[in-house]
Amino acid sequence: GAGVSQTPSNKVTEKGKYVELRCDPISGHTALYWYRQSLGQGPEFLIYFQGTGAADDSGLPNDRFFAVRPEGSVSTLKIQRTERGDSAVYLCASSLGLVVNEQFFGPGTRLTVL
């Protein structure tokens, strides 16, 4: 079956602009996660959805970051007033949820803020 997909694969924007990053999880996976990976670092947790609700958003760095999953499937990560420090690869993962299962990752969106 299809894996986790993310669009766009690359996004270049200017400082101060608004961006949206999209994630399509594996069909049937109720849990969806967003991570951010800077160069040479491990992924850092941002937010976790179980179904439509954000079960844990403690990793969001500030209120410029927001994510939604309105129908319990596709999720969008939204970043307002982008800053150069937001440049990173944004990874999405999904899992069967309910218990701590393995998470399957998408290819990521490389965000560059000029």
Q: What is the DSSP letter of 102?
A: P
Peptide bond into 43 cis (omega under 30): no
Of positions 19, 31, 79, 113, contacts other proteins by CB under 8 A: 31
Sign of CA dihedral 47, 80, 21, 35: negative
Q: Is 55 in the site for other proteins (CB under 8 A)?
A: yes
Instruction: In whole angstroms, give the CA distance from residue 25 to residue 54.
Output: 15
CA end-to-end distance (rounded Å), the chain: 37
Q: Is 44 in the site for other proteins (CB under 8 A)?
A: yes
Report the residue number, 10 or 80, with the smaller CB distance to other proteins: 10
Q: Is 51 in the site for other proteins (CB under 8 A)?
A: no
Q: Is 25 in the site for other proteins (CB under 8 A)?
A: no
Report the residue number, 66 or 105, with the smaller CB distance to other proteins: 105
Q: Is 105 in the site for other proteins (CB under 8 A)?
A: yes
Peptide bond into 8 cis (omega under 30): yes
Q: Which residues bind other proteins (CB under 8 A)?
A: 31, 33, 35, 40-45, 48, 55-56, 59, 89, 91, 93, 95, 97, 100-108
